[in-house]
Amino acid sequence: MLERYFVRPHTVDRIRALWLGPAIDQYVDWLTGRQAASDTVQRSVQTLIHFDGFTHACGVTTWEELPQYLEPFMAQWMQKRGTWCRTEKDRQAVHAHGRVPVEQLLRLLLPDFVGSQRHLAPPFQVSIPGFFDGLREERGLRPTTVHRYISHLRAFEAYLQRAEAEDLRELTPALLSAFLIESAQRLTPGTVADRGSTLRVFLRYLHRQGIIATDLSRAVPRGCRYSQASIPRAIPWSEVPRVMAVVDRRAPVGKRDYAILLLLISYGLRAREVAMLRLEDLDWQQEQLHVSERKGGHSTIYPLSTTVGEAIIDYLRFARPQVEERRLFLIAKSPFTPLGSYSISARAEVYLHAAGIEVPRPGSHTFRHTCVQHLVEADVPFKVIGDYVGHRTPAATQIYGKVALHKLRELALGDAEEVL
Protein backbone atom coordinates (compact mmCIF):
# COMPACT_ATOMS: atom_id res chain seq x y z
CA MET A 1 0.00 0.00 0.00
CA LEU A 2 3.00 2.31 0.40
CA GLU A 3 3.33 2.46 -3.39
CA ARG A 4 0.01 4.27 -3.51
CA TYR A 5 1.47 7.27 -1.67
CA PHE A 6 5.16 7.23 -2.57
CA VAL A 7 5.98 7.13 -6.29
CA ARG A 8 9.72 6.49 -6.11
CA PRO A 9 10.55 2.80 -5.53
CA HIS A 10 13.66 3.59 -3.50
CA THR A 11 11.52 5.63 -1.08
CA VAL A 12 9.24 2.64 -0.52
CA ASP A 13 12.24 0.35 -0.12
CA ARG A 14 13.84 2.74 2.37
CA ILE A 15 10.69 2.82 4.51
CA ARG A 16 10.29 -0.95 4.48
CA ALA A 17 13.95 -1.41 5.42
CA LEU A 18 13.43 0.47 8.69
CA TRP A 19 13.13 -1.61 11.84
CA LEU A 20 9.59 -0.23 12.15
CA GLY A 21 9.06 -0.74 8.42
CA PRO A 22 6.59 -3.66 8.69
CA ALA A 23 4.61 -1.75 11.31
CA ILE A 24 4.53 1.39 9.14
CA ASP A 25 3.34 -0.70 6.19
CA GLN A 26 0.55 -2.08 8.33
CA TYR A 27 -0.27 1.42 9.61
CA VAL A 28 -0.63 2.73 6.05
CA ASP A 29 -3.06 -0.11 5.32
CA TRP A 30 -5.04 0.94 8.37
CA LEU A 31 -5.12 4.61 7.32
CA THR A 32 -6.15 3.63 3.80
CA GLY A 33 -9.01 1.59 5.16
CA ARG A 34 -10.22 4.71 6.95
CA GLN A 35 -10.01 6.69 3.70
CA ALA A 36 -7.40 9.10 5.03
CA ALA A 37 -6.26 11.84 2.66
CA SER A 38 -3.00 11.22 0.80
CA ASP A 39 -1.22 14.17 2.40
CA THR A 40 -2.28 12.91 5.84
CA VAL A 41 -0.80 9.48 5.11
CA GLN A 42 2.43 10.97 3.77
CA ARG A 43 2.81 13.35 6.72
CA SER A 44 2.11 10.56 9.21
CA VAL A 45 4.67 8.26 7.60
CA GLN A 46 7.30 11.01 7.78
CA THR A 47 6.60 11.35 11.51
CA LEU A 48 6.96 7.61 11.99
CA ILE A 49 10.27 7.64 10.11
CA HIS A 50 11.54 10.15 12.69
CA PHE A 51 10.15 7.98 15.50
CA ASP A 52 11.92 4.97 13.99
CA GLY A 53 15.24 6.83 13.95
CA PHE A 54 14.77 8.07 17.51
CA THR A 55 13.94 4.65 18.99
CA HIS A 56 16.66 2.93 16.98
CA ALA A 57 19.22 5.40 18.34
CA CYS A 58 17.95 4.65 21.85
CA GLY A 59 18.63 0.95 21.34
CA VAL A 60 14.99 -0.19 21.33
CA THR A 61 14.66 -3.75 20.02
CA THR A 62 11.06 -4.78 20.80
CA TRP A 63 7.73 -3.14 20.12
CA GLU A 64 6.68 -3.61 23.75
CA GLU A 65 9.37 -1.07 24.73
CA LEU A 66 8.06 1.65 22.40
CA PRO A 67 5.47 3.34 24.69
CA GLN A 68 8.11 4.39 27.23
CA TYR A 69 9.94 6.31 24.49
CA LEU A 70 6.91 8.27 23.33
CA GLU A 71 7.35 11.18 25.75
CA PRO A 72 11.13 11.55 25.18
CA PHE A 73 10.45 11.52 21.45
CA MET A 74 7.80 14.22 21.83
CA ALA A 75 10.17 16.35 23.91
CA GLN A 76 12.75 16.19 21.13
CA TRP A 77 10.06 16.76 18.50
CA MET A 78 8.82 19.94 20.16
CA GLN A 79 12.36 21.16 20.83
CA LYS A 80 13.18 20.96 17.13
CA ARG A 81 9.84 22.06 15.66
CA GLY A 82 8.16 24.17 18.31
CA THR A 83 10.50 27.15 18.14
CA TRP A 84 8.64 28.80 15.25
CA CYS A 85 5.24 28.57 17.00
CA ARG A 86 3.82 32.00 17.77
CA THR A 87 0.61 30.91 19.46
CA GLU A 88 -0.58 28.06 21.64
CA LYS A 89 -2.70 26.88 18.72
CA ASP A 90 0.46 26.55 16.61
CA ARG A 91 2.11 24.51 19.35
CA GLN A 92 -0.90 22.22 19.63
CA ALA A 93 -0.85 21.59 15.88
CA VAL A 94 2.86 20.73 15.86
CA HIS A 95 2.40 18.54 18.91
CA ALA A 96 -0.50 16.67 17.27
CA HIS A 97 1.50 16.08 14.08
CA GLY A 98 4.10 14.31 16.19
CA ARG A 99 1.99 12.46 18.73
CA VAL A 100 -1.09 11.31 16.81
CA PRO A 101 0.62 9.06 14.22
CA VAL A 102 2.84 7.47 16.87
CA GLU A 103 -0.07 6.76 19.20
CA GLN A 104 -2.12 5.34 16.33
CA LEU A 105 0.77 3.05 15.42
CA LEU A 106 1.16 1.89 19.02
CA ARG A 107 -2.54 1.09 19.27
CA LEU A 108 -2.21 -1.11 16.20
CA LEU A 109 0.81 -2.94 17.58
CA LEU A 110 -0.04 -3.23 21.28
CA PRO A 111 -3.58 -4.30 22.30
CA ASP A 112 -3.41 -2.71 25.77
CA PHE A 113 -1.94 0.63 24.72
CA VAL A 114 -4.40 3.42 25.54
CA GLY A 115 -2.69 6.62 24.50
CA SER A 116 -1.68 10.02 25.71
CA GLN A 117 -4.18 10.01 28.56
CA ARG A 118 -2.05 7.49 30.45
CA HIS A 119 0.84 9.95 30.46
CA LEU A 120 -1.23 12.73 32.02
CA ALA A 121 -2.19 12.87 35.66
CA PRO A 122 -5.75 11.57 36.11
CA PRO A 123 -8.37 14.24 36.81
CA PHE A 124 -9.09 15.10 40.45
CA GLN A 125 -5.88 13.31 41.41
CA VAL A 126 -5.30 15.58 44.43
CA SER A 127 -8.83 15.59 45.82
CA ILE A 128 -9.73 11.91 45.21
CA PRO A 129 -6.53 9.94 44.55
CA GLY A 130 -8.12 6.50 45.06
CA PHE A 131 -11.05 6.70 42.63
CA PHE A 132 -9.41 5.27 39.50
CA ASP A 133 -7.52 2.62 41.46
CA GLY A 134 -10.88 1.48 42.79
CA LEU A 135 -12.25 1.18 39.27
CA ARG A 136 -9.36 -1.08 38.30
CA GLU A 137 -8.95 -3.15 41.44
CA GLU A 138 -12.39 -3.33 43.06
CA ARG A 139 -14.65 -3.22 40.00
CA GLY A 140 -12.17 -4.99 37.72
CA LEU A 141 -12.67 -2.61 34.80
CA ARG A 142 -10.47 -2.99 31.74
CA PRO A 143 -7.90 -0.27 30.92
CA THR A 144 -9.96 0.95 27.96
CA THR A 145 -13.03 1.39 30.20
CA VAL A 146 -11.03 3.24 32.84
CA HIS A 147 -9.64 5.42 30.06
CA ARG A 148 -13.22 6.36 29.14
CA TYR A 149 -13.91 7.38 32.74
CA ILE A 150 -10.73 9.46 32.75
CA SER A 151 -11.72 11.18 29.51
CA HIS A 152 -15.19 12.15 30.77
CA LEU A 153 -13.97 13.31 34.16
CA ARG A 154 -11.11 15.28 32.64
CA ALA A 155 -13.75 17.20 30.66
CA PHE A 156 -15.73 17.71 33.89
CA GLU A 157 -12.63 18.95 35.72
CA ALA A 158 -11.91 21.42 32.92
CA TYR A 159 -15.52 22.64 33.03
CA LEU A 160 -15.34 23.25 36.78
CA GLN A 161 -12.12 25.21 36.29
CA ARG A 162 -13.78 27.41 33.67
CA ALA A 163 -16.77 27.91 35.96
CA GLU A 164 -14.44 28.73 38.88
CA ALA A 165 -16.15 26.00 40.92
CA GLU A 166 -13.26 23.63 41.62
CA ASP A 167 -14.27 22.82 45.21
CA LEU A 168 -16.11 19.49 44.93
CA ARG A 169 -17.91 20.17 48.22
CA GLU A 170 -19.81 22.97 46.49
CA LEU A 171 -21.20 20.93 43.60
CA THR A 172 -24.86 21.59 42.80
CA PRO A 173 -27.48 19.93 40.56
CA ALA A 174 -27.55 23.09 38.42
CA LEU A 175 -23.81 22.85 37.81
CA LEU A 176 -24.07 19.18 36.81
CA SER A 177 -26.94 19.89 34.42
CA ALA A 178 -25.09 22.81 32.85
CA PHE A 179 -22.05 20.60 32.20
CA LEU A 180 -24.14 17.95 30.42
CA ILE A 181 -26.03 20.58 28.43
CA GLU A 182 -22.73 22.00 27.22
CA SER A 183 -21.51 18.49 26.38
CA ALA A 184 -24.68 17.76 24.38
CA GLN A 185 -23.88 20.60 22.00
CA ARG A 186 -20.90 18.73 20.55
CA LEU A 187 -21.33 15.05 21.49
CA THR A 188 -23.67 12.32 20.32
CA PRO A 189 -26.61 11.36 22.57
CA GLY A 190 -24.93 8.05 23.36
CA THR A 191 -21.71 9.73 24.46
CA VAL A 192 -23.62 12.24 26.59
CA ALA A 193 -25.48 9.37 28.25
CA ASP A 194 -22.16 7.62 28.92
CA ARG A 195 -20.78 10.84 30.38
CA GLY A 196 -23.79 11.11 32.65
CA SER A 197 -23.32 7.52 33.79
CA THR A 198 -19.68 8.26 34.61
CA LEU A 199 -20.73 11.31 36.62
CA ARG A 200 -23.18 9.23 38.65
CA VAL A 201 -20.48 6.70 39.56
CA PHE A 202 -18.14 9.54 40.47
CA LEU A 203 -20.71 11.35 42.61
CA ARG A 204 -21.67 8.20 44.49
CA TYR A 205 -17.99 7.71 45.29
CA LEU A 206 -17.71 11.30 46.54
CA HIS A 207 -20.71 10.75 48.80
CA ARG A 208 -19.35 7.47 50.21
CA GLN A 209 -16.04 9.19 50.95
CA GLY A 210 -17.82 12.01 52.78
CA ILE A 211 -16.57 14.65 50.35
CA ILE A 212 -20.12 15.76 49.53
CA ALA A 213 -22.95 15.65 52.07
CA THR A 214 -25.69 14.67 49.62
CA ASP A 215 -25.69 11.92 47.01
CA LEU A 216 -25.95 14.08 43.89
CA SER A 217 -25.93 11.12 41.51
CA ARG A 218 -29.73 11.24 41.44
CA ALA A 219 -29.56 14.84 40.25
CA VAL A 220 -27.70 13.94 37.05
CA PRO A 221 -30.25 14.10 34.21
CA ARG A 222 -30.49 10.91 32.21
CA GLY A 223 -31.87 12.50 29.05
CA CYS A 224 -34.03 10.79 26.44
CA ARG A 225 -31.86 7.94 25.30
CA TYR A 226 -34.17 5.24 24.06
CA SER A 227 -33.23 1.64 24.64
CA GLN A 228 -32.19 -0.20 21.46
CA ALA A 229 -32.56 2.97 19.37
CA SER A 230 -29.83 1.96 16.95
CA ILE A 231 -29.65 -0.87 14.44
CA PRO A 232 -26.62 -3.20 14.39
CA ARG A 233 -24.38 -2.62 11.38
CA ALA A 234 -24.54 -6.12 9.92
CA ILE A 235 -24.20 -7.05 6.26
CA PRO A 236 -26.49 -9.58 4.53
CA TRP A 237 -25.29 -13.15 4.97
CA SER A 238 -25.27 -13.50 1.19
CA GLU A 239 -22.50 -10.87 1.05
CA VAL A 240 -20.12 -12.87 3.26
CA PRO A 241 -18.78 -15.02 0.37
CA ARG A 242 -17.97 -11.80 -1.52
CA VAL A 243 -15.75 -10.64 1.31
CA MET A 244 -14.03 -14.00 1.71
CA ALA A 245 -13.40 -14.20 -2.04
CA VAL A 246 -11.24 -11.06 -2.11
CA VAL A 247 -8.72 -12.55 0.34
CA ASP A 248 -5.62 -13.75 -1.50
CA ARG A 249 -5.09 -17.09 0.23
CA ARG A 250 -1.91 -17.73 -1.75
CA ALA A 251 -0.01 -15.15 0.29
CA PRO A 252 0.96 -15.61 3.97
CA VAL A 253 -1.00 -12.51 5.00
CA GLY A 254 -4.03 -13.82 3.11
CA LYS A 255 -3.86 -17.20 4.86
CA ARG A 256 -3.73 -15.45 8.22
CA ASP A 257 -6.50 -13.00 7.43
CA TYR A 258 -8.76 -15.70 5.97
CA ALA A 259 -8.58 -17.62 9.26
CA ILE A 260 -9.25 -14.43 11.21
CA LEU A 261 -12.31 -13.53 9.14
CA LEU A 262 -13.70 -17.06 9.56
CA LEU A 263 -13.34 -16.78 13.35
CA LEU A 264 -15.11 -13.42 13.34
CA ILE A 265 -18.00 -14.54 11.17
CA SER A 266 -18.38 -18.11 12.48
CA TYR A 267 -18.29 -17.42 16.21
CA GLY A 268 -19.04 -13.69 16.36
CA LEU A 269 -15.81 -13.07 18.26
CA ARG A 270 -14.63 -9.60 19.17
CA ALA A 271 -11.34 -8.35 17.72
CA ARG A 272 -9.65 -8.50 21.12
CA GLU A 273 -10.79 -12.09 21.63
CA VAL A 274 -9.21 -13.10 18.33
CA ALA A 275 -6.05 -11.12 19.08
CA MET A 276 -5.60 -12.86 22.44
CA LEU A 277 -5.99 -16.42 21.11
CA ARG A 278 -3.01 -18.63 21.88
CA LEU A 279 -1.78 -21.85 20.30
CA GLU A 280 -2.87 -23.80 23.37
CA ASP A 281 -6.45 -22.54 22.93
CA LEU A 282 -6.81 -24.95 20.01
CA ASP A 283 -7.69 -28.45 21.25
CA TRP A 284 -7.23 -30.51 18.10
CA GLN A 285 -8.02 -33.85 19.75
CA GLN A 286 -11.35 -32.67 21.14
CA GLU A 287 -11.93 -30.39 18.14
CA GLN A 288 -12.57 -27.42 20.40
CA LEU A 289 -11.67 -23.74 20.49
CA HIS A 290 -11.16 -22.13 23.90
CA VAL A 291 -11.84 -18.38 24.07
CA SER A 292 -10.69 -17.26 27.50
CA GLU A 293 -10.24 -13.49 27.05
CA ARG A 294 -13.92 -12.55 26.91
CA LYS A 295 -15.55 -9.36 28.08
CA GLY A 296 -16.17 -9.42 31.81
CA GLY A 297 -13.59 -12.16 32.39
CA HIS A 298 -15.75 -14.99 31.02
CA SER A 299 -14.60 -17.88 28.84
CA THR A 300 -16.31 -19.99 26.17
CA ILE A 301 -15.56 -23.33 24.54
CA TYR A 302 -16.68 -23.69 20.91
CA PRO A 303 -16.73 -26.74 18.66
CA LEU A 304 -13.96 -26.20 16.13
CA SER A 305 -15.67 -26.40 12.75
CA THR A 306 -13.96 -28.15 9.86
CA THR A 307 -13.83 -24.97 7.77
CA VAL A 308 -12.28 -22.88 10.52
CA GLY A 309 -9.91 -25.65 11.55
CA GLU A 310 -8.62 -26.17 8.00
CA ALA A 311 -8.02 -22.43 7.57
CA ILE A 312 -6.04 -22.27 10.82
CA ILE A 313 -4.01 -25.35 9.86
CA ASP A 314 -3.25 -23.78 6.48
CA TYR A 315 -1.99 -20.67 8.28
CA LEU A 316 0.03 -22.62 10.85
CA ARG A 317 1.70 -24.87 8.28
CA PHE A 318 2.42 -22.46 5.47
CA ALA A 319 2.25 -18.87 6.75
CA ARG A 320 2.82 -18.45 10.49
CA PRO A 321 6.42 -17.51 11.32
CA GLN A 322 8.36 -20.18 13.23
CA VAL A 323 8.92 -18.22 16.44
CA GLU A 324 8.50 -18.90 20.15
CA GLU A 325 5.56 -16.49 20.51
CA ARG A 326 2.46 -18.39 21.70
CA ARG A 327 -0.15 -15.96 20.45
CA LEU A 328 -1.85 -17.44 17.39
CA PHE A 329 -1.90 -14.55 14.93
CA LEU A 330 1.30 -12.65 14.22
CA ILE A 331 2.42 -9.83 11.98
CA ALA A 332 3.79 -11.37 8.79
CA LYS A 333 7.13 -9.53 8.86
CA SER A 334 9.98 -9.37 11.35
CA PRO A 335 9.94 -9.05 14.33
CA PHE A 336 6.73 -11.16 14.09
CA THR A 337 4.94 -9.68 17.10
CA PRO A 338 1.29 -10.53 17.83
CA LEU A 339 -1.47 -8.77 15.95
CA GLY A 340 -3.42 -6.35 18.12
CA SER A 341 -7.17 -5.87 18.20
CA TYR A 342 -6.92 -2.63 16.24
CA SER A 343 -5.00 -4.43 13.52
CA ILE A 344 -7.60 -7.18 13.29
CA SER A 345 -10.41 -4.67 12.97
CA ALA A 346 -8.41 -2.75 10.37
CA ARG A 347 -7.85 -5.91 8.31
CA ALA A 348 -11.58 -6.65 8.39
CA GLU A 349 -12.25 -3.11 7.20
CA VAL A 350 -9.76 -3.50 4.34
CA TYR A 351 -11.56 -6.57 3.00
CA LEU A 352 -15.00 -5.01 3.31
CA HIS A 353 -13.79 -2.08 1.21
CA ALA A 354 -12.08 -4.42 -1.27
CA ALA A 355 -15.35 -6.31 -1.73
CA GLY A 356 -17.17 -3.05 -2.43
CA ILE A 357 -19.50 -3.46 0.54
CA GLU A 358 -20.71 -0.23 2.12
CA VAL A 359 -21.50 -0.37 5.83
CA PRO A 360 -21.35 2.28 8.58
CA ARG A 361 -18.13 2.06 10.62
CA PRO A 362 -16.78 -1.09 8.96
CA GLY A 363 -14.52 -3.36 10.96
CA SER A 364 -14.40 -6.59 12.93
CA HIS A 365 -17.68 -5.80 14.69
CA THR A 366 -19.40 -5.84 11.29
CA PHE A 367 -18.75 -9.58 11.15
CA ARG A 368 -19.83 -10.06 14.76
CA HIS A 369 -23.12 -8.29 14.05
CA THR A 370 -23.57 -10.34 10.88
CA CYS A 371 -23.03 -13.59 12.78
CA VAL A 372 -25.64 -12.67 15.40
CA GLN A 373 -28.12 -11.45 12.79
CA HIS A 374 -27.74 -14.71 10.85
CA LEU A 375 -28.51 -16.72 13.99
CA VAL A 376 -31.55 -14.56 14.73
CA GLU A 377 -32.88 -15.10 11.22
CA ALA A 378 -32.30 -18.84 11.64
CA ASP A 379 -34.72 -18.75 14.62
CA VAL A 380 -32.08 -19.58 17.21
CA PRO A 381 -33.39 -18.48 20.66
CA PHE A 382 -32.00 -15.18 21.93
CA LYS A 383 -30.65 -16.81 25.11
CA VAL A 384 -28.65 -19.34 23.08
CA ILE A 385 -27.32 -16.59 20.80
CA GLY A 386 -26.31 -14.43 23.75
CA ASP A 387 -24.38 -17.28 25.33
CA TYR A 388 -22.80 -18.17 21.98
CA VAL A 389 -21.33 -14.73 21.27
CA GLY A 390 -20.68 -13.73 24.88
CA HIS A 391 -23.33 -11.06 25.39
CA ARG A 392 -23.44 -10.03 29.03
CA THR A 393 -27.11 -8.96 29.01
CA PRO A 394 -30.21 -10.21 27.13
CA ALA A 395 -30.82 -6.68 25.80
CA ALA A 396 -27.57 -6.84 23.83
CA THR A 397 -29.01 -9.74 21.83
CA GLN A 398 -32.62 -8.64 21.62
CA ILE A 399 -31.72 -5.51 19.65
CA TYR A 400 -31.12 -7.76 16.63
CA GLY A 401 -34.78 -8.74 16.67
CA LYS A 402 -35.60 -5.33 15.21
CA VAL A 403 -33.85 -6.26 11.98
CA ALA A 404 -35.48 -9.69 11.61
CA LEU A 405 -38.39 -8.28 9.62
CA HIS A 406 -39.54 -11.68 8.41
CA LYS A 407 -40.26 -12.63 12.03
CA LEU A 408 -42.33 -9.51 12.54
CA ARG A 409 -44.30 -10.22 9.39
CA GLU A 410 -44.95 -13.81 10.47
CA LEU A 411 -46.05 -12.61 13.89
CA ALA A 412 -48.38 -10.03 12.38
CA LEU A 413 -49.91 -12.55 9.97
CA GLY A 414 -50.36 -15.08 12.75
CA ASP A 415 -52.19 -12.58 14.95
CA ALA A 416 -54.39 -11.51 12.07
CA GLU A 417 -55.39 -15.07 11.27
CA GLU A 418 -56.36 -15.68 14.87
CA VAL A 419 -58.54 -12.58 14.87
CA LEU A 420 -60.22 -13.64 11.64
Chain centroid offset of residue 74 CA: 24
Longest CA pairwise span in the chain (Å): 82
Active-site residue list: 270, 295, 365, 368, 391, 400
Task: Specify whether the CB–CB gap between 158 and 183 falls below 8 A.
Answer: no
Are 272 and 364 in contact by the 8 Å Cβ rule? The answer is no
The DSSP code sequence of 396-413 is: HHHGGGGT-HHHHHHHHH
Residue 369's closest CA among 253, 227, 271, 248?
A: 271
Which residue from 223, 224, 216 is spatially nearest to 173, judged by alpha carbons?
Answer: 216
Angle, helices 189-208/143-162, rounded to nearest 10 degrees: 80
Residue 53 C-beta-side C-alpha neighbours within 13 Å: 9
With H, G, I as helix, E, B as strand and everything else as coil, classify residue 239. Answer: helix
Q: Whole-angstrom Cα distance, residue 409 to residue 329?
A: 43
Q: Comparing C-alpha atoms, which of 92, 53, 82 is closest to residue 69? A: 53
Closest CA to 171 of 128, 136, 206: 206
Omega before 335 cis (within 30°)?
yes
Residue 65 and residue 73: Cα distance in Å, rounded? 13
